[in-house]
Chains A and B, each alone.
Chain A
Amino acid sequence: MPMSAAAAAPAVPVPPPRSRGYWAGVGLRFVKDPVALGASAVLLVLLVLALFGPWLAPADPFKSSMLGRLQPIGSEGFPLGSDELGRDMLSRLMVGARLSLFMGITPVVLAFVIGTTIGLVAGYAGGLVNSAIMRTVDVFYAFPSVLLAIALSGALGAGIGNALLSLTIVFVPPIARVAESVTTQVRTRDYVEAARASGAGAFAIVRVHVLGNVLGPIFVYATGLIAVSMILASGLSFLGLGVKPPEPEWGLMLNTLRTAIYVQPWVAALPGAMIFVTSIAFNLLSDSLRNAMDVK
Chain B
Amino acid sequence: MKPPLLTVQGLVKHFPLKKDVFGRGGGTVRAVDGLHFHVFAGETLGVVGESGCGKSTTARLLMHLIAPTAGEVVFDGRAVGSRDLPLKDYHRQVQMVFQDSYASLNPRLTIEDSVAFGPRVHGVGAREAVERARGLLAKVGLEPARFAERYPHELSGGQRQRVNIARALALAPRVVILDEAVSALDKSVEAQVLNLLLDLKDEFGLTYVFISHDLNVVRYISDRVMVMYLGEVAEIGDAERLFEAPRHPYTAALLSSMPSMDPDRRTERAPLAGDPPNPIDPPAGCRFHPRCPRAEAVCAQRVPARPAGGDGVACLMFEAGSGHAAAPARAA
Identify the A interface with B (CB < 8 A).
Answer: 5-6, 8-10, 12-16, 19-22, 189-191, 193-201, 204, 208-209, 212-213, 295-296
Contact = CB atoms under 8 A, between A and B. Distances in A.
Given A197-B65, A199-B122, A12 B142 contact: yes
A219 B171 CA distance: 35
B312 interface: no
Contacts of B103: 189-191
A128 to B, nearest CB: 15
Interface residues of B, number: 48
Nearest to A191: B106
B106 A209 contact: yes
Contacts of B170: 198
Interface in B141-173: 141-143, 146-147, 149-151, 153-156, 158-159, 164, 167, 170-171
Contact of B151 (A19, A196, A199): A19
A5 B195 contact: yes
Contacts of B149: 19
A190 B104 contact: yes
A32 to B, nearest CB: 19
Contacts of B158: 12
A138 B111 CA distance: 39
Contacts of B306: none
B87 A9 contact: no
B121 A8 contact: no
B311 interface: no
A191 B117 CA distance: 11
Contacts, number: 98
Question: Which DSSP category, helix, strand, loop or mixed, fits chain A's interface?
Answer: loop
A225 B146 CA distance: 42
25 contacts: A6-B192, A8-B196, A8-B199, A10-B141, A12-B142, A15-B147, A15-B150, A15-B155, A19-B149, A19-B151, A191-B105, A191-B106, A193-B65, A194-B167, A196-B65, A198-B95, A198-B167, A198-B170, A199-B87, A199-B122, A199-B171, A200-B118, A204-B121, A212-B106, A213-B106
B104 A199 contact: no
Interface in B78-136: 87-92, 95-96, 98, 100, 103-109, 114, 117-118, 121-122
B118 A198 contact: yes
B196 to A, nearest CB: 7
Contact of A213 (B95, B107, B143, B146): B107
B35 interface: no
Contacts of A190: 98, 100, 103-104
A5 to B, nearest CB: 7
Contacts of B114: 191
B154 A19 contact: yes
A199 B167 contact: no
Given A12-B141, A194-B96, 11 more contacts: A10-B192, A12-B142, A12-B159, A21-B151, A22-B108, A190-B100, A198-B122, A199-B87, A199-B90, A199-B91, A213-B106
A173 to B, nearest CB: 26
B151 A9 contact: no
B63 interface: yes
Contacts of B142: 12
B88 A199 contact: yes
Nearest to B177: A197
Contacts of B143: 9, 12
B91 A197 contact: yes
A189 to B, nearest CB: 6
Nearest to A213: B108
A9 B106 contact: no
Given A12-B141, A22-B151, A191-B104, A198 B195 contact: no
A195 B155 contact: no
Contacts of B104: 190-191, 194
Given A189-B103, A213-B106, A296-B153, A9 B138 contact: yes
Nearest to A189: B103
A191 B149 CA distance: 18
A208 B117 contact: yes
Given A5-B195, A10-B141, A198 B91 contact: yes
A10 B140 CA distance: 9
A212 B149 CA distance: 17
Given A15-B155, A19-B151, A193-B65, A9 B117 contact: no
